[in-house]
Amino acid sequence: MRRYFGRKLLIYGLTFFLAVTIDWMIPRFMPGDPIANMLSRATVNVENAQLMYDYFEQVFGLDVPLWRQYLNFWAALFRGDLGISVYMFPTPVTEVIMRAVPYDVFLLLPAILLSWYAGNKFGAFAARSKWLDNTVLPIGYILTATPYMWLGILLAWVFGVVLGIFPLAGAYGFDVRPQFSWTFIWSVLKHWFLPFASIFLVRFGGWAIGMRNMIIYELDADYSHYLEALGAPRKLVRQYAYRNAILPQITGLSLDLGIIVAGALVTEVVFSYPGIGTLILQAIQNQDYFLLQGCFLFIIIGVLLANFVIDFVYVIVDPRTRLGMVGETA
Amino acid sequence: MTNTTERTPKETQPERATSKETRSEFLYFALRNNKLRIGLAVILFFLVLAVVGPWLTDYEPYAYVNPGGAQPPSAEHWFGTTMFGQDVFTQFVLGLRSTFIVGAIGGGLGTLIGIVIGFTSGYQGGIVDEILNVITNIILVIPTLAILLIIAAYLEVRGILMESIFIGFTAWPWAARAVRSQTFSLRARDFVDLAKLSGRNSWKIIFGEIAPNMMSYLLLTFILQFGGAILNAATLDFIGLGPTNAVSLGLMMNNAVMWGALLLGVWWWFVPPGLAITAIVGALYVTNVGLDEAFNPKLREM
C-alpha cells in the first residue's frame, strides 16, 4: 500500500510540475502582448504609454530574466498568488477564479457523481436482459457520442426557447439578489438544471455502457458460474458481479475526469454559466493570459485532487490494494 | 467518451489471422451482426456526403448568398441560411470533410504513437516500461483540453491538418495503455518464446508474432481514437480555437451560439452539425461493439 501511494504521489508530483511549467510558458511565449493590449484600450498619449508599459511590466513581473520569472512563478504559486487579471484589472486572478469556483463545484460534483452512480446501476440492471439491452443501450451509445455543447444547445433551445420552462443563461435571474431566500434558491436551481442535465445525460450513457460490458464479463467468470451451479439466487450472483465490476469503473472515473471537465467547460459556455469555462472563454477573447493561466492551474489542481481522493476510495473498496497484491491499478 | 468501451476487458485468443477458415468465420459473424451493419451504413452515408456534398452545391461556405438573412430550409437552400445569409448545407458538407480528416489523421496518429509506445513498454518491460508508463499516466491526468487550448492559442493561423496533428499527439495515452496491457498478456505465450529463442530481433517479433495476434484489438483502438479525435476537435472549435481558414462542424455551432441562433429559433443552423457528429461518433462506437462481437466468440449474441 505504501508502494501504491508512493507511486501515485510521484506521478501526481511530476504531473503537477509539468503542468505548472507548461502553464508558466503560456503568457511568455504566446503571440500578442497582453500589456500593450490592455493599454490600447485605455487612451493615453505616447509618453505616458511608455511609462505605463514599464510600470505594468514591473507589476506583472516581466522585467527580470526568464529563469528568474520561472522561479518567481513557483514562489508566488506557493503563496497562492497567480498574478493580476489583465481583463479585470486590478483584480487578482485568484480572486476572479475563487468567485467562479463555487459554481463549478455546484455544477460538476452532482453531475459527475450522480451520473456515475445512476449509470452504473442502470448498466448493471440492463446487462443480460434482452429487452433493455436492445432498446435502451443504443440510446446510451448515442448519448456518449453526443458532443456536450450540442446536447446543451438542444436542451437550451427546446426547454429554454421553445417551451420557455427554463432560463437560458447565467446562474440566477437578474431580478433576484444573492441572499438566503426561497426566490433566490429557486432561481439558482432553475438556472442550474439544464447545464446539469446535459453533463449528466452524456456521462450517464458512458457509464451505463461501461458497466453493462463489465457485468457481462463478470457473469461469465468462474465464480459466477460456480455460484449459479450451487443454486445461488440470480440476485446474489449479480451482487458479486457488481462489486467486481465497479472497480474498473472507479479507475475509469479518475481517468475520465479530464474529459468530463473539458465537457463541463463547453457546457458552461453554452449556458453562460459563470464558472471556469466561461472565464476561460473570456480570457481567450480578451487575451488575458494570466487569467487563462490561473484557470488551467486550477483545473489541473482540481483534477489531481479528485484523482487522489479516488485513489483513497479505491484502496477502501478493493482490499487487494491494501495487501499489496496488485501493483497496477491506474 | 473514448474510453468507456476501451476499458472492457477482452481476452485475446491467438487468432491465426492468416488462416482462411478463421477469416470466413469472422466474415460470417460480421455480416450477420446488426450493430456492425447499422454502424457501417451510417458512417458510409456521411462519408459519401462529405465526398460528394461539395459538388452538390454552387455556393461558397462563407459567401453571403441570401440577402434575406436567416431562412428555413427550402429547395434553393437545402439546410436553410444563416443569419448572414450563408448557405448552411455548403458549410455542413465541408464541415463533414473536416470532421473525417480530423478523425482519420488525429485518430490515426494517436493510434500509431500509442502502438509504438504500447508495444515498446509492454514488450520490453522493466525500467523502459516504468518510464513510459509514468509518462503515459502523466499525460493521461492532465486534461487534454488544457494542452490543446495552449497550443491552439499559440498559433495565429490554424488549419485542419495542424489541429488533427495536435489532437493525435495528446490522445495517444489511451491507445498506449490498451496496447501495452495486451502486449503483456501475449508476451508470455509460447510462440513468442520460440521466436525469441530463434534469435529474431525485438521489432520483428513484435510485428511478426505479437501484432498479428491483436490485429482486431488495434482496429478497435483506432476506431475509438477516431471518434475521440472528432469529439476533441468539436470541443476545440466550439471555444473558438478551431481552424481559422476552414469550415468545421464545431465552428458552425460556435457561430450559431455566438450570433444568437438559439433565441431567434434558427434551429437549422445548429442542429445539423451536432447531429452529424453524434451520428458519426455513435456509429463508430456501435461498429466497434459489432466488430468486437464478431472477433470475440465470447461476446457473440446467443
pLDDT (tens digit, 9 = 90+) per residue, B52-82?
888 877 777 777 777 777 777 777 777 878 7
Q: Tell me the shortest Cα–Cα distance from B203 to chain A, in angstroms.
A: 26
Q: Which amino acid is at B38?
A: I
Q: What is the pLDDT of residue B275?
A: 93
Q: Name which of A161-165, A202-206, B127-131 the model is least confident about.
A: A161-165
Q: What is the mean pLDDT of residues A286-308?
A: 83
Asked if B5 lies within 8 A of A255 by C-beta distance, the reply is no
Task: State the cell numbers at B204.
Answer: 520483428
> Which backbone phi and psi does A115 adopt, to 5 degrees?
-65, -35
Angle between helices A148-155 and B215-238 (to 10 degrees): 50
Question: Is the CB of B141 inside 8 Å of chain A's CB atoms?
Answer: yes
Q: How far apart are CA A172 and CA A188, in angstroms?
A: 5
Task: State the cell numbers at B10.
Answer: 477482452
Asked if B262 lies within 8 A of A150 by C-beta distance, the reply is no
DSSP B126-144: HHHHHHHHHHHHHHHHS-H
CB contacts of B284 in chain A (<8 Å) are: 145
pLDDT tier, B300 (very low <50, low <70, confident <90, very high otherwise): low
Interface test with A, best of B10, B140, B141, B183 (most A CBs within 10 A): B141
Burial zone of A273 (CB within 10 Å; 0-12 exposed, 13-18 middle, 19+ buried): buried
Q: How far apart are CA B171 and CA B203, in angstroms?
A: 24
pLDDT tier, B99 (very low <50, low <70, confident <90, very high otherwise): very high
Q: How far apart are CA A326 and CA A248, in angstroms?
A: 13
pLDDT (tens digit, 9 = 90+) per residue, B241-299?
A: 778 778 889 888 988 888 877 888 888 888 999 999 999 999 998 888 888 888 777 66
Question: Is the CB of B250 inside 8 Å of chain A's CB atoms?
Answer: yes
Q: Please give the span between the terminal C-alpha atoms of chain B, in angstroms, as a whole number.
A: 28
Q: How far apart are CA A277 and CA A256, in angstroms?
A: 18
Question: Is the CB of B157 inside 8 Å of chain A's CB atoms?
Answer: no
Q: How far apart are CA A289 and CA A25, in angstroms?
A: 10
Averaged pLDDT score across all residues of chain B: 81
Asked if A217 lies within 8 A of B277 by C-beta distance, the reply is no
Searching chain A, which residue's CA lies closest to the CA of residue B256? A153
Decide: A295 and A97 in contact? Cβ < 8 Å. Answer: yes
More confident residue, A73 or B49: B49
Q: Tell me the shortest Cα–Cα distance from B199 to chain A, in angstroms.
A: 31
State whether residue B246 is helix, strand or coil: coil
State whether residue B81 is helix, strand or coil: strand
The domain ranges of chain A are: 93-329
Q: What is the pLDDT of residue B48?
A: 92
Question: Is the CB of B302 inside 8 Å of chain A's CB atoms?
Answer: no
Q: What is the pLDDT of residue A51?
A: 74
Q: Tell me the shortest Cα–Cα distance from B153 to chain A, in angstroms.
A: 7
> In chain B, at which residue ranges do the beta strands (DSSP E only) sit?
none
Option in B7, B253, B265 nearest A248 (CB)? B7
Q: What is the mean pLDDT of residues A151-155?
A: 91
Smallest CA-to-CA distance from B182 within B64, B19, B2, B8 is with B8
Q: Give the 3-state secondary structure of A245-285.
A: HHHHHHHHHHHHHHHHHHHHHHHHHHHCCCCHHHHHHHHHH
Please state the separation of Cα B132 from the chain's center in Å. Answer: 24
CATH superfamily of A93-329: MetI-like (1.10.3720.10)
Three-point CA angle A43, A48, A53, nearest 5°: 90
pLDDT (tens digit, 9 = 90+) per residue, A252-272?
A: 888 888 888 888 888 988 888
Please state the separation of Cα A234 from the chain's center in Å. Answer: 37
Searching chain B, which residue's CA lies closest to the CA of residue A207? B4
Smallest CA-to-CA distance from A132 within A232, A219, A217, A208 is with A208
Q: What is the mean pLDDT of residues A241-246?
A: 88
Asked if A292 lies within 8 A of B153 by C-beta distance, the reply is yes
> Residue A328 pLDDT more than 70?
no
What pTM was estimated for this model as a whole?
0.84
Q: Which amino acid is at B85?
A: G
If contacts are CB pairs under 8 Å, which of residues 68-107 in chain B contact chain A? none
Q: How far apart are CA A187 and CA A166, in angstroms?
A: 10
Q: What is the mean pLDDT of residues B165-192?
A: 86
Q: How far apart are CA B51 and CA B97, in angstroms?
A: 7
Q: How far apart are CA A194 and CA A169, in angstroms?
A: 10
Task: State the cell numbers at A251.
Answer: 479507475
Please state the separation of Cα A214 from the chain's center in Å. Answer: 25
If contacts are CB pairs under 8 Å, which of residues 186-245 in chain B contact chain A? 227, 231, 234-235, 238-241
Residues in chain B: 302
Q: What is the mean pLDDT of residues A92-105?
A: 87
Searching chain B, which residue's CA lies closest to the CA of residue A162? B265
Task: State the cell numbers at B203.
Answer: 521489432
B110 CB-near residues (< 8 Å, 6+ apart): B167, B168, B169, B171, B172, B174, B175, B225, B228, B229
Q: Tell me the shortest Cα–Cα distance from A213 to chain B, in angstroms.
A: 6
Decide: A322 and A1 in contact? Cβ < 8 Å. Answer: yes
Q: What is the pLDDT of residue B280?
A: 94
Task: State the cell numbers at B73.
Answer: 430550409
Q: What is the pLDDT of residue A118?
A: 93
CA-to-CA dists, residue A148 to A263, B48, B81, angstroms = 6, 26, 24
Beta-carbon-side half-sphere exposure of residue A19 (alpha carbons within 13 Å): 28
Q: Please give the span between the terminal C-alpha atoms of chain A, in angstroms, as a whole number.
A: 14
Alpha helices in chain A (DSSP H): 2-29, 34-41, 46-59, 66-78, 93-126, 130-145, 148-155, 182-219, 222-230, 234-271, 276-285, 289-317, 319-322
Q: How far apart are CA B292 and CA B294, in angstroms?
A: 5
CB contacts of A150 in chain B (<8 Å) are: 234, 253, 270, 273-275, 277-278
Chains A, B: CB pairs < 8 Å: 181
Question: Is the CB of B291 inside 8 Å of chain A's CB atoms?
Answer: no
Q: What is the mean pLDDT of residues A6-23?
A: 84
State whether residue B71 is helix, strand or coil: strand
Task: State the cell numbers at A119.
Answer: 449509470
Asked if B274 lies within 8 A of A209 by C-beta distance, the reply is no
Option in A31, A216, A299 nearest B143 (CB)? A299
Give B21's strand partners. none
A145 CB-near residues (< 8 Å, 6+ apart): B227, B231, B277, B278, B279, B280, B281, B282, B283, B284, B285
Option in B137, B277, B286 nearest A147 (CB)? B277
Decide: A302 and A294 in contact? Cβ < 8 Å. Answer: no
Smallest CA-to-CA distance from B135 within B102, B127, A87 is with B127
Q: How far apart are CA A161 and CA B263, in angstroms?
A: 6
Decide: B247 and B91 in contact? Cβ < 8 Å. Answer: yes
Q: How far apart are CA B191 and CA B193, in angstroms?
A: 5
- ipTM computed for the complex: 0.81
Q: What is the mean pLDDT of residues B125-131?
A: 85
Q: How far apart are CA B87 and CA B247, in angstroms?
A: 12
Asked if A147 lies within 8 A of B154 by C-beta distance, the reply is no
